[in-house]
Structure 1
Amino acid sequence: MKQFLSIGFLMIAIFLNKSVLASEIQSIIPDSLTTKSPQEIISYLKYSKQKDSDVYEIALSALSKDDLILAQQYYTVALFFYETEQYERALYYLNKSITLVKELNDSKFLCTLYLKSANAYLKDWQNQKSLDYYNKALFIAQKKGSIKHELIANSGLAIILRRMGQLDKALKVCKNSLVLTEKSSDNNTANHVRLLTIISEIYLDQTKYDSVLHYADIGLAISKPLDYSIGSIDLLTKKGIVALNNKEQTKALQYFYEAKEIIDQKGIKQKKSILNLNYFLANYFYQEKQYNKAISYLNNSVSILEEKDARNIRVLETYLLLANCYTEIGQTKESMFWFQKLITLQDEFQDAKNKTITKLYNQDINKLENQIEALKNEEMKEERYKEYIFVILLSVCFVLVFFIFKYYQKQKNNTARFDQLIEKINSLQSKEKNILQPVVINDEKVKAVLDGLDKLENQEYFLHTDCDLRSMSKKVKTNTTYLSKIIKTHKANSFNDYINDLRIEYALKRLKNDKKFRSFSVKSIALEIGYKTDNSFTKHFKSKTGLNPSYYIRKINSQDNDS
């Protein structure tokens, strides 16, 4: 009896909580929204600012009694933001929809949501997250036998593989998908064109120009009747690139202008296509030594860039070409500005690329493990089973032997590098460094700058995180261009290499002599000697010494313990 009473009270409590919650939600919704339809509220959501969207979401949720309908409505909003290249907001609503659909066990809709999320991350150059969602979608598509979804996922995976430089793998995925596409309902559709575009891009990376033109022509023949503008723009751009590489300048410009005409006539806003076309048009004019025209196209690209676009390799190439153009017309200040931006972004881009490559490698290992497991579970004859197992074990043994050999070889090389490094440091500490300098410096201005640099070195100014060319030039009372030239002439280094050499040399000596300093984390050591990130410190340390900082510290500690 008591048990039934307890359940009864619990049901009443839940009912009362829901009633209170519903009442609170109702009080948040303005009266002006209570009479609106879901379609009208969706329209408000699409054109609202992010900070003002909460109230519309609450109103939409209150109107939708069915979670599946609400998930579809969120998907509609996400598609709007996706098409307008507002990927962060698109992903926000896709995630809300995914949360609802997971509870409903609607695998087909869930696969669609995963694919759209993967595409959004891909377009936003967040390769690692994109890879995760493509794999989730691919798992469902293969389980349910959905060829359409499998093709879309494989196309995205091919793009990521291409970005990571794994061109043969990317091409293999695309060719398999092309066979499936030509036998499916996607034949002669926009999806077919997208796949042909990816294949032509891979062949372009491999400098197989005849293959690029072959697949580009097939894609154009399909895209023109469909009036698929993006496909036509991208494929015409690729034909222009091939012509440019083959020194067919007139033909290249014809293709580029044809693509530009479609952009202008159709009012195309897709950033990827515009960035690509502007870059290669600028490249054409750079080769023709029409540097101001090249700069004009590159500045058109810069004007539409946002902070998140830094992940796009085409942005790095745009900055480099801008720097080169300004160098050619003698505008050193502008050239150095774009070189600095390029260097800053390169480290971030490489770090993201390395993480994605690691994930792809782990995926291959997992795939091999799954294949082995499937092999064990199959019903097969005893002899065939043993044969497979023997081959796999033999392969694993070869791989293990190879990695063990490489490991010991690396250890041996590292030990030799370390011994040479210690010998060099001991030598530097026992006598003054012999720095090659001109015997006589007649130019008083140069001498003053060099004296200023020596003073800053003695003060260890290079350990400051804000130590850069601009601040250093102020300290020695000269301009950035002049200081850069003096360092190049008298220190035989670029400014960045000069500062990095001082920092790494300081780190080597202090780590050798200061036990407490060795107990710091690599990140703390990096900050202590002027680097903003441990990745940057590790990169420069390894570049100068051939060793990782952690290895160097371990060996020093080991030497101390032995002593």
Structure 2
Amino acid sequence: MRQLQSVDNHSFKTFAYAASLYLKTRDKYSFNFEANNDSIHKYLPKIQENNKNYSMLFDIHILLGNTYKRRGQMKAALDNYLKAENYALIINDVERIVKIKGNVALVYQGIRQLDNALNQIITTYKIVENNKVRLGKKYNSRKFQTLLNTSAIYNSLLQDNNKNLQYGDSSIHCLNKILSDKDLKLSKFKYGQVYRNLATAYSLKKEYAQAEPFFQKSIEYFSEINAQADLYNAFYNTGVNYLEMNNLHKSKDAFQEVLRIKQDTLLDPNYVNAHKYLSEIYVQQNNKDSASYYFTKHQKILEQATKEQQLEYEKIFSADETYQLKKKIDSLEKVNSENKNMIIVSLILLIAIIVTSTIIIYKNVKEKRNAKSRLRQLLDIPKEIEKETNNQKLVIKDEHHAEVIEGLIKIEKKLFFLKEEFNLYTTAKKIGTNTTYLSKIIREHKKMTFSEYSNDLKIKYIVEKLKTDKTVRAYTTQAIGEIGGYKNAKSFTRIFKKYTGITPFQFIDKIETELEKLN
């Protein structure tokens, strides 16, 4: 790929940079992501869109989509996947169409747009079934992957709406289709995936006894091929399932396996929760020492996670649950007559912790209030722009005048201003007026030209995204600009600063600084 980066052909050069970016991201290399990404954006626009290059453009965008997905930047991943899908459709390459639609469905699932994910994967399955001959040897692998992904999306739908058990039944139906199809010739890893999804479906339906043997089968297959990451998740879910069945002994064994498998230092919710569950199990078994050990370990991990900002804390930590668990552990101490001295020491320490914690909490609350105030001031930057617009007195002159005003409101609500074809001519045509009349109305009611109006809408939209979406705040200036339809990073930065008074990265830095203080 390094050699390919030095050739004169823009297609090969861009592909080489995209492939290198993906490989380094996948294998967790330490490298300058921005520099690599800038090289891609430098050469990608130079590739002519024609029959000769469509396949290469597909490969470039699917590599970029895979890269962004692994980096957790789902919006950028989806944008690249959709571009890749467009090229696949142009050249009518069924294999590529099926591949990219599957990826698009998984991204929709990752950002919890599950209806979109389901529609996409159902369409993918229809394409697979209607193109068995064209897919040839790849038909079986594509059919398997599509059915497996469909079951996973149904499981996610059931997770979000646990009353609609039909989602679970649909997931099970997809998986049984796989198991009953002798032509698929599943590997041990694929069997493990199927049984894991079956177990998950039954567990989400709260049919825990039905789920248990499928969890065990998935563990057997993943163990045979030493698939550690899948084994780690399988043991965790098995532990939760046994806990729901009130089988404390087997649940404890499963969570112990989770901690045994965990070797890396990266924290995740399963690892954190395994300690909490073990503490709860030992409380129910009246084992004070082990309950205290895992409770303390759980608290230390949370402190570490807070410092490193590696977890979504609200998903794994509840102050009320922790307080209740602490109370249960304390009650075990009180009934243990052999440890009266330890009880006194523990109470003193607890009081000291409470007093210290109260002081720290008071300081944190005070600092958070100050930080919230500073953050509010920062996030109100675009409000001055809005005040100027909102304070204009709206005077409707005639019926057509009213239709044009209503048309502008619809364009703003439907985010038409983000589309590439958004300009004075297309906007006037869409509303049903001419460019001269539209310009006049915008000057009267918005006190700005159409160009200023366009930038006003786009910058407001981008500012809102930066305020509410931490993923967007991790984008490059180029990528942030593209959200609002700006193709040139320098031009976007200049316009952003004109409207807000600061550059995009200065805006992001201030938001992140204040949010860190709030955490």
Q: What TM-score, normalized to structure 1?
A: 0.47
Structure 2 residue aligned with 1:323: 276
Query: Is 1:295–2:252 an aligned residue pair?
Result: no
Structure 2 residue aligned with 1:160: 107
Structure 2 residue aligned with 1:338: 301
Change (3 A) 1:177 1:114: same
Q: Which of 158, 172, 177 lines up with 1:218 in the alignment?
A: 177
Query: Is 1:203–2:154 an aligned residue pair?
Result: yes
**Amino acid of the structure 2 residue aligned with 1:326:** S
Structure 2 residue aligned with 1:29: none
How big is the shift at 1:324? 3.2
Structure 2 residue aligned with 1:261: 220
Q: Distance in 2 between matches of 1:76 and 1:235?
A: 31
Q: Distance in 1 between matches of 2:241 and 2:13?
A: 50
Give the 3-state SS of the residue equivalent to 1:189 in structure 2. helix
How big is the shift at 1:158? 1.8
**Amino acid of the structure 2 residue aligned with 1:325:** L
How big is the shift at 1:340? 3.3
Q: Distance in 2 between matches of 1:140 and 1:88?
A: 32
**Amino acid of the structure 2 residue aligned with 1:338:** I
Give the 3-state SS of the residue equivalent to 1:125 in structure 2. coil
Q: Which of 33, 42, 59 lines up with 1:112 in the alignment?
A: 59
Contact 1:316 1:345 in 2 (8 A): no
Written as runs of structure 1 = structure 2, the 5 A alignment for 1:274-313 is: 274-287=231-244, 288-290=247-249, 292-300=252-260, 302-304=262-264, 306=266
How big is the shift at 1:195? 2.0
Structure 1 gaps, min length 5: 1-41, 43-56, 352-477, 512-516, 524-530, 541-563
Contact 2:22 2:66 in 1 (8 A): no
Q: Distance in 2 between matches of 1:78 and 1:203?
A: 32
Structure 2 residue aligned with 1:125: 72
Q: Which of 85, 96, 99 lines up with 1:149 in the alignment?
A: 96
Say what the alpha-carbon RMSD is for the aligned residues: 4.6
Give deviations 1:191-221, integer Å, cap 9, x for gaps. 3222222221221122221111001222344
How big is the shift at 1:241? 1.9
Change (3 A) 1:506 1:231: same
Change (3 A) 1:162 1:337: same
Q: Which has the higher contact order (CA 8 A, sep 6+)?
A: 2
Change (3 A) 1:282 1:138: same
Change (3 A) 1:183 1:148: same
Contact 1:209 1:242 in 2 (8 A): yes
Query: Is 1:501–2:365 an aligned residue pair?
Result: yes
How big is the shift at 1:345? 7.5
Structure 2 gaps, min length 5: 159-166, 283-290, 315-347, 381-510
Q: Distance in 1 between matches of 2:222 and 2:146?
A: 21
**Amino acid of the structure 1 residue aligned with 2:277:** N
Give deviations 1:128-160, integer Å, cap 9, x for gaps. 332232122123223333333233222222222
**Amino acid of the structure 1 residue aligned with 2:148:** T
Change (3 A) 1:87 1:65: same
Contact 2:259 2:271 in 1 (8 A): no
Structure 2 residue aligned with 1:406: none
**Amino acid of the structure 2 residue aligned with 1:298:** V
Query: Is 1:534–2:498 an aligned residue pair?
Result: no
How big is the shift at 1:240? 1.3
Q: Distance in 2 between matches of 1:305 and 1:139?
A: 40
Contact 2:5 2:16 in 1 (8 A): no
Contact 1:244 1:252 in 2 (8 A): yes
How big is the shift at 1:237? 0.6
In the TM superposition, structure 1's runs of 4+ consecutive aligned residues that sit over 6 Å from their partners are 64-82, 87-102, 344-348, 517-520
Q: Distance in 2 between matches of 1:137 and 1:169?
A: 18
Give deviations 1:79-114, integer Å, cap 9, x for gaps. 8778x7558789999998998787665220221232
Q: Distance in 1 between matches of 2:368 and 2:21?
A: 48
How big is the shift at 1:348? 6.5
How big is the shift at 1:339? 3.3
Contact 2:88 2:97 in 1 (8 A): yes
Q: Distance in 2 between matches of 1:116 and 1:200?
A: 25
Written as runs of structure 1 = structure 2, the 5 A alignment for 1:443-454 is: none
**Amino acid of the structure 1 residue aligned with 2:199:** G
Q: Distance in 2 between matches of 1:193 and 1:203?
A: 16
**Amino acid of the structure 1 residue aligned with 2:177:** I
Written as runs of structure 1 = structure 2, the 5 A alignment for 1:474-493 is: 482-485=351-354
How big is the shift at 1:238? 1.4
Contact 2:195 2:215 in 1 (8 A): yes
Higher radius of gyration, 1 or 2: 1
How big is the shift at 1:170? 1.4
Q: Distance in 2 between matches of 1:224 and 1:266?
A: 22
Give the 3-state SS of the residue equivalent to 1:206 in structure 2. helix
Give deviations 1:214-233, integer Å, cap 9, x for gaps. 01222344598443444332
Give deviations 1:524-553, integer Å, cap 9, x for gaps. xxxxxxx97323556x7xxxxxxxxxxxxx
How big is the shift at 1:281? 2.4
Change (3 A) 1:247 1:101: closer
How big is the shift at 1:483? 4.2
Q: Distance in 2 between matches of 1:281 and 1:229?
A: 19
Change (3 A) 1:225 1:95: farther
Query: Is 1:235–2:194 an aligned residue pair?
Result: yes
Written as runs of structure 1 = structure 2, the 5 A alignment for 1:41-56 is: none
Contact 2:189 2:225 in 1 (8 A): no
Q: Distance in 1 between matches of 2:173 and 2:12?
A: 45
Q: Distance in 2 between matches of 1:338 and 1:152?
A: 39
Q: Distance in 2 between matches of 1:487 and 1:246?
A: 44
Q: Which of 138, 157, 171 lines up with 2:85 in the alignment?
A: 138
How big is the shift at 1:344? 6.2
